Amino acid sequence: MQIKFLKEVITITVGKQAEGIVDLLYEKKYVNEFLIAKKLDITINQTRNILYKISDHGLVSSIRKKDKKKGWYTYSWKIEVLKGFEFLRGILVKKMEQINNQVRSRETKKFYVCERCSIEFNEENALLHNFTCDECGDVFVMKDNSKILKELKKNLDRLEKQLALLDIEIAKERERLGKIKARELKKAEKIKKETRQKAAAIRKLARDKLAKENPVKKKKVVKKKKVKKKVKKKVKKKSVSKKKPAKKKAPSKGVKKKSIKKKIVKKK
- What DSSP string describes 129-146? TTTB-TTT-PBPEE---H
State the CB neighbour count (10 A cutoff) for residue 113: 17
What SS3 class is residue 63?
strand
- pLDDT tens, position by position, for the chain (268 residues)? 788 888 889 989 888 888 888 888 887 688 998 999 998 888 999 999 999 999 999 899 999 888 777 778 888 999 999 999 999 999 999 999 999 999 998 888 888 888 888 888 888 888 888 888 888 888 888 888 888 899 999 999 999 999 999 999 999 989 988 888 888 888 888 898 888 888 888 888 888 888 777 776 555 555 665 555 555 555 555 544 455 555 555 554 444 444 554 444 444 4
Q: What is the number of helices (H) and of strands (E) in the chain?
A: 8, 6
pLDDT at 27: 74
pLDDT at 268: 43
State the CB neighbour count (10 A cutoff) for residue 208: 10
Q: Which of 172, 165, 110 is nearest to 141 (CA)?
A: 110
Alpha-carbon dihedral angle through residues 111, 116, 117, 120, given to the nearest 10 degrees? 0
Distance from C-alpha of 5 to C-alpha of 85, rounded to nearest angstrom:
7
Distance from C-alpha of 117 to C-alpha of 132, rounded to nearest angstrom:
12
Q: List the end-to-end C-alpha distance of the chain, in Å, as a whole number.
A: 164
Distance from C-alpha of 63 to C-alpha of 81, rounded to nearest angstrom:
17
Residue type for position 158: R
The answer to whether the CB of 53 falls within 8 A of the CB of 99 is: no
Distance from C-alpha of 82 to C-alpha of 8, rounded to nearest angstrom:
14
The answer to whether the CB of 119 falls within 8 A of the CB of 138 is: no
Query: pTM of whole model > 0.75?
Result: no
Q: What are phi and psi of 200, to 5 degrees?
A: -65, -40
Distance from C-alpha of 96 to C-alpha of 153, rounded to nearest angstrom:
10
Ramachandran quadrant class, 185 (left: phi over 0; alpha: psi -120 to 50; beta: rest): alpha
Distance from C-alpha of 181 to C-alpha of 119, rounded to nearest angstrom:
57
